[in-house]
Structure formats: C-alpha cells, structure tokens
Chains A and B, each alone.
Chain A
Amino acid sequence: MEVDRELVEAAQAGDRWALEELVRRTHRSVYTCALRLVGNPDDAADVTQDVYLRVVRKLGGFRHEASFSTWLNRVTTNVAMSTLKRRTRRFAVEGAAVPADTRDPAPEPAERAEAVALARRLERLVGELPEGQRQVLVLRDIYGQSTEEVANAMGLTPGAVKVRLFRARERLKAELEATEGGQVVALAGRRRASGRRS
C-alpha cells in the first residue's frame, strides 16, 4: 500500500476528493489487517469503517513522522483490539478468515514467487491459530510491529508476547509441514545444500 504524501496533505487540508481517494487506495489493506486480527469478515468490515472514522478525526494531527501506511496500520490495530475487547466472537475463524482471493500489489520477482505462494497457503493456517497467538503473530511477523508495540496494543507483558509468538511460529511451521508433507523442510534443506555448494 503506497500512498503519496501530497494526497495525504490534500486530505488533511479538507479536500473531499483526496480523502475519498485515500480510502479507495487503502481500504483493502485496512480490511485485510482487520480480518487477520478479528477473524471474521463482518467484524472486519465494521473495524474498517471505524478505522476511517477515526482517521477523519485524527488526520489533522498526523505529522508525517512515520509513513502514512504505518500510521494507518497502528490505527487499525488499535481499533481492532478495542473491537475485540467489546465483543465476543460471533463465529469461528475457520473458513471465514480465508480470503477468497488474495491479490499481489505488483508482479513479483522470480525469487519471491515461492515466498508469495507460501504466503497464500499460510493465510488459511494463520486464520486457524488460536486467537491470542494469531493476533501476536499478525502484528509482529506480518506487520513488523515491535514486541513492545504488540504488548501495548494487546495489554500484555513483552514476555507474554514472546511466549505466544514462539508457540504460534512452532504451531504454524508444524501445520505447514503437516499439510504439505514436509515440503517446507525439504525445500529449506535443498536451499541450504545449494548454498553450501556455492
């Protein structure tokens, strides 16, 4: 999700078209992050709407110290976590969290193609993780937030975040190996072997 600074500044100045364009360009990314955190499409749509209502209120205070997408990601995280605290989950994540269609922002280079294919398969497995582990993994490993940021967003200690994160990674790797018959390990082994030869 790339957003021009000029577009953000125009939206900050009250340009209606710029704000709507900002929403059009970023809403898929916000929805995806929300879906990964809350676990079902209807709640993700509610979170997406709440995120932009908050963006309208707070956009004037955005000072471009971080990138707009980073700021938007934090807003999404906060709104999603508040929503989760307010609501009990209405239905299970299984199935619902799996995207019918994931799209790439741009054509991928050949060396990333394998990682992209793996990422597509991981989407379902991440959705099937227990809620606490899933949220920590999504924020830390997918969106690159620091352990402290994740701890603050979730109201946990950094130690608790690390424990959940390690369990989530272990479980994800085990499930990936189970579903693909050890393909990941085998590929990793081949890559390591070819690395040693070169």
Chain B
Amino acid sequence: MTSCHSIRPLLPARAEELTLFEARSRAEHVAGCARCATESAAYSRLGHALAVMAHLEVDPVDGTLERVLVAIGRRRTAVTDPRVLAAAGSAGALVATVVVARAVRNRRQTRPAARHMTLPRRLRLPNLPVPAPALARAK
C-alpha cells in the first residue's frame, strides 16, 4: 500500500482533478487508513460547503442597487438588440426616402419659373487690355 506521505498531497483534490492512477492510489490507501480516510472525508465536506456558498448572498452596501439603476439608465440609450436596430434602420430609410422625394418634387415644380429667365445664348469675354510684358513675350 502507498504511504500516507505520498497520498497526503492528493487528499485535497477532487476526483476529476486527479489522474486515473492517482485516484486509484488514493482510493486504495483511504480504504485501509483510518486517519487519511478522516482527512479525505473532511475535504469532501469542505468542498460541499464551499459549493453551497454559491447560493448564499450578501446584502450589498447601501445604495448599490440605486447606483446601478442610475448608471444603466444613463447608458441605456444605446440599443443593442439587432431586431430593434433593424427596425430603427428601416424607419430611418423610409423617412429619408420621403424627404428626398419631396425635395425632388419641389424642385420640379420650381423649374418652369426658372426657364422664363432670359439668359444670353453665348457668353462673351469683355475686351480687356493685354499687359505689355505678356505682349512682348508673345512676339
């Protein structure tokens, strides 16, 4: 049988934390050694009590809940749900389409008035005097 000295480091471990060989050695030793069996049982109870601690809750310091609710209230303006984002995007696109359509229609309605304006068919440049150095270079 393995010695208490070599088994002792294995006693705090859970079964799934040991190799098959380690688990078997521990089980064999504990079956024949009252002292290590007691230690092993104490660790089991400790493990069970620690797992129970996950269900025990502590009362937070005063104002924690209120602080959290205020903080998330400030942040909540950013919507993260993709369905809501898709709906908002569609609504935005619809509004944009309506605005553009109205702008185009208004422009078409105002265009005939613009046609009545008399514009010269050809634009001519006025006869400006040519600067002397430029004239000399041209010659």
Question: What residues of chain A have their CB less than 8 Å away from a CB belonging to chain B?
Answer: 1, 12-14, 16, 19-20, 23-24, 27-29, 31-32, 35, 41-42, 44-45, 48-49, 52-53, 55-61, 99-105, 112, 115-116, 118-120, 122-123, 126, 137, 141-144, 147, 162, 165-166, 169-170, 172-173, 176-177, 184-185, 187-189, 191-192
Contacts and interface: CB of A to CB of B under 8 A. Distances in A.
A27 B60 contact: yes
Interface in B60-110: 60-61, 63-65, 67-69, 71-72, 75-76, 78-84
B49 to A, nearest CB: 4
Interface of A is mostly: helix
Main secondary structure of the interface of B (DSSP, over half): helix
Interface stretch (B19-27, B35-43, B113-121, B125-133): B35-43
A105 B57 contact: yes
B54 A20 contact: no
Interface residue tally of chain B, by bracket? Answer: 35 or more
B68 A142 contact: no
Highest count of chain B CB atoms <10 Å: which of A123, A184, A188? A188
A1 B58 CA distance: 12
